[in-house]
Amino acid sequence: MPALHERARILDDEHAGTDLRGRFRLPAGVVYLDGNSLGALPAGVAETVADVVHRQWGSRLIESWNESDWWGAPTRVGDRIGRLVGAAEGQVVCTDSTSVNLYKSVVAAARMRPGRRVVITDPASFPTDLYVTEAAARDAGLTVERVSPADAAARAAELGADLALASYSSVDYRTGELWDLPALTRAVHDVGALVCWDLCHSAGVLEVDLDAHDVDLAVGCGYKYLNGGPGAPAFLYVARRHQDAFDNPIAGWNGHATPFAMAPDYVPAPGISRGRVGTPPLLSMLALEAALSAYDGESVADLRARSLSLTGFFLECVDAMLPGTEVVTPREPERRGSQVSLRHPDAYAVVQALIARGVVGDFREPDIVRLGFAPMYLTHGDVLRAAEHLHAVVEDREHEDPRFAARSTVT
């Protein structure tokens, strides 16, 4: 469609200032729409990891804990992430996994709100969030209620002084719906409870503004839009006003006030360092630190504007090429994260057929074609090509090819 090609060109010209593909190493001929699952490789990361392996570890050995400040990496990297999620220095630590950090947050919140008995969370959350929340609540003597984010403010008001914590993802991982973080945070605070936000699908592409919205706790991973690589460590945010009261339920030596004193009794470190537990995975940690350099000099607000333009243009392309396709993601910009999800009865096979054409997205049960739009390395031209390939797959029924039906263990 010539009009769409011209529109893609115009939009790419308008957003040329945030075209950062040169900061990434992407395979030629691939349109990568899975950055919401595993981010692309930023330039410089491989070289950094090689330096860590060959020089810092291989040559300097244990001296690098001091010479290269390995010990300070969790808080140093945490502060870099903090700048992307609207947190002042000293409130984010890069440590452990999202699951472990969520466990810490739920138990710590229960201890900070003694006498309250209920945690509310989204029944459609990523399953691990549900599993961990249930386990942490059980250990802390709390009851979990599964309440949709759309109903959470009302339920918080009903629970009142019984509510200890509201724990939600800011973006629904299946649908891409962006929930109203400021409004729900205010509603929870109105009854004296705490809020914890999972930022796995927000950090780096949305203006989260944790400090500005008085968020209490937040967690998130480093391997999606932050591009830290598979298994990259996660992060934990504890607002400064809560840090003295944050009682980490996993008391490890890295979170001790004097870790090298080897004292037999635990005394928590001051500030955000009390969120640490064990020895950090330095190879992954330093790869993530190098990856975050891709954000140097960039505004999250500008990246959000580019993201909305990319997803909006993709919806425009789908409407023009595949009218009648069920779009699961909200069309309103203020309710849309950095992804578009479509519903199709053969969604898995559609995704596999797209991958065979060089358009990499992913599938979510039971019938969701999920496409993530990482604004730093995608163009409107990429978006149009992805839509054209999707049109070909569906219209020519390529997804019915038997080779696309067999499910792999990882999707």
Contact 231, 221 (CB under 8 A): no
* DSSP-derived pairing of the beta strands 339-343 and 92-94: unpaired
What is the phi/psi pair of residue 145, to 5°?
Answer: -115, 130
Catalytic, out of 24, 103, 126, 377 = 126
Catalytic, out of 113, 174, 224, 304 = 224
Residue (of 376, 209, 409) closest to 307 by Cα position: 376
The count of other CB atoms within 10 Å of the CB of residue 54 is 10
Contact 225, 200 (CB under 8 A): no
Task: Say whether 198 is catalytic.
Answer: yes
Cα angle 37, 314, 374; round to 5 = 30
- What is the rounded distance in angstroms from the CA atom of residue 199 to the CA atom of residue 79? 16
Residue 150 CA, distance from chain mean position = 21
Task: Say whether 370 is catalytic.
Answer: yes
Catalytic, out of 172, 198, 216, 362 = 198
Catalytic, out of 276, 336, 370, 385 = 370
Q: Please state whether the peptide bond connecting residue 2 to the residue before it is cis, i.e. omega within 30 degrees of 0.
A: no
**Token pair for residue 212?**
């500005």
Cα angle 138, 142, 148; round to 5 = 100
Residues 6+ apart with CB under 8 A from 258: 267
H/E element, 387: helix 380-395
- What is the rounded distance in angstroms from the CA atom of residue 248 to the CA atom of residue 117? 19
Give the end-to-end CA distance of the chain in Å, rounded to a whole number.
Answer: 31
Question: Which DSSP category does 44 fall into?
Answer: T
Strand, coil or helix: what is 375? coil
Catalytic, out of 24, 168, 223, 363 = 223
Catalytic residues, by residue number, are: 126, 198, 223-224, 370
